[in-house]
Amino acid sequence: MSASPIDLETLRGFFRSAPFMVDLGVEPLAVEPGRVRTELLLQPRHRQHTGVVHAGVMIALADHSMGAAAQTQAPAGRWVLTAELKSSLLRGADGERLVCEAWVLKAGRSLSFTEAEVHAEQGARRVLVLKASATMALTAAAD
Mean pLDDT of 73-88: 95
Cα–Cα nearest to 122, from 96, 92, 101? 96
Cβ contact 130:90 at 8 Å: yes
Report the pLDDT value the prediction gives residue 143, as an integer from 0 to 100. Answer: 53
Cβ contact 86:62 at 8 Å: no
Degrees to nearest 5, angle at CA 120 with 119 and 121: 110
Each domain of the chain, given as residue ranges in start order, spans 8-140
Report the pLDDT value the prediction gives residue 53, as an integer from 0 to 100. Answer: 98
Report the pLDDT value the prediction gives residue 1, as an integer from 0 to 100. Answer: 43
90-110 confidence digits (pLDDT tens): 999 999 999 999 999 999 999
What does pTM read for this prediction?
0.94
If pLDDT is split at 50, 70 and 90, which confidence band does 6 have? Answer: confident
If pLDDT is split at 50, 70 and 90, which confidence band does 123 have? Answer: very high
Report the pLDDT value the prediction gives residue 3, as an integer from 0 to 100. Answer: 63
In DSSP notation, 63-129 reads: HHHHHHHHHTTSBTTEEEEEEEEEEEE-S---SSEEEEEEEEEEE-SSEEEEEEEEEEEETTEEEEE
Give the integer Cα–Cα distance in Å for 39 and 48.
19
Four-way CATH pick for 8-140: 3.40.50.2300, 3.10.129.10, 3.30.2020.30, 3.40.47.10: 3.10.129.10
29-79 confidence digits (pLDDT tens): 999 999 999 999 999 999 999 999 999 999 999 999 999 999 999 998 899
Measured in whole angstroms, the distance separating CA 94 from the mean position of its chain's CA atoms is 19
Cα–Cα nearest to 29, from 41, 47, 18, 19? 41
